[in-house]
A = this chain, B = another copy of it.
Amino acid sequence: MSKVPSKVGVLLFPGFEPLDVFGPVEAFHTISHQSTKIDLVWIGPTLDPVSTAPKEIVMTTVGSTVDTRVVPTHTYDNPPEDLEVLLVPGGVGTRVQVPTSDAAVAFVKKTYPKLKYLITVCTGAGIAARAGVLDGKRATTNKYVWKTTTMTRPEVNWVRTARYVVDGNCWTSGGVSAGIDVTLAWMASVYGQEAARDAANHMEYEWRDDRNWDPFAYMFSDSEGA
């Protein structure tokens, strides 16, 4: 019987989107308390707290100050040797014009061959795509900024209409909240349907487990994105 994966890393970079990270992390927290051994680690550029607000992009014209800072446990240079699953969130920090995104891309490129599974949320698929690990694979990403993300790597078979896509060991999802759905679906596949459903229910989350149901693909079908 093959051992199920337990070592899960969250990739952090400046300008990550909060729910891209914490939707899936909530699912990992919940299942880890119930039925399934999970060792969760946080991988940042350095051990300094990583902010949702990258210096390079001014997010708002209305003068808001919003900034979430999360503490890494590991660095890109020294991730756990036995990492099995990597979660790659999206956010403005994934954009090609944000210099720190290059280091995140390089980390995924270096790490992917050792992984059992890769899960991306939102424009995190852009990081994985730029790392070349989705070439020739089917994948999806955020529907609002679809064009700007997918044009970075035409070698990927981008699937616009999906809430999430599975190809090989790569699980990619649509924008933000879709990360919860893909993570629960991945858990159902790896840990069993009952464990995943139990986690969803304890999150009081109405999990849509149909990977082809994505109203936002329709809603943003004419979007040029931001």
Seen from chain A, the residues whose Cβ lies within 8 Å of a Cβ on chain B are: 6, 17-19, 21-23, 25-26, 28-29, 32-40, 42, 49, 52, 59-60, 62-71, 73, 122, 142-144, 174-178, 201-206, 208, 214-216, 219
Contacts and interface: CB of A to CB of B under 8 A. Distances in A.
Contact of A70 (B23, B32, B70, B176): B70
B32 A22 contact: no
Contacts of A177: 203-206
B28 A19 contact: no
Contact of A19 (B26, B49, B206): B26
Contacts of A37: 60, 62-64
Interface SS, A side: loop
Given A59-B33, A60-B33, A203-B175, A49 B67 contact: no
B69 A70 contact: yes
A33 B92 CA distance: 11
Nearest to A143: B204
Nearest to A20: B26
Given A40-B66, A177-B203, A26 B33 contact: no
Copies held by the complex: 2
Given A25-B68, A122-B204, 18 more contacts: A17-B26, A18-B26, A21-B22, A22-B22, A29-B66, A32-B62, A34-B62, A37-B63, A39-B64, A40-B68, A42-B68, A144-B202, A174-B204, A175-B202, A175-B204, A177-B204, A201-B216, A206-B206
B60 A32 contact: yes
Contacts of A206: 177, 206, 208, 215
- The residue among A23, A70, A215 with the most chain B CB atoms within 10 A of its own CB is A23
Contact of A204 (B52, B62, B142, B202): B142
A69 B71 contact: yes
A66 B38 contact: yes
Q: Which 10 A-B pairs have the closest CB atoms?
A: A22-B22, A19-B26, A32-B64, A175-B204, A69-B71, A177-B205, A40-B66, A204-B216, A176-B203, A37-B62
- The residue among A42, A73, A203 with the most chain B CB atoms within 10 A of its own CB is A203
Nearest to A39: B65
Contacts of A208: 206
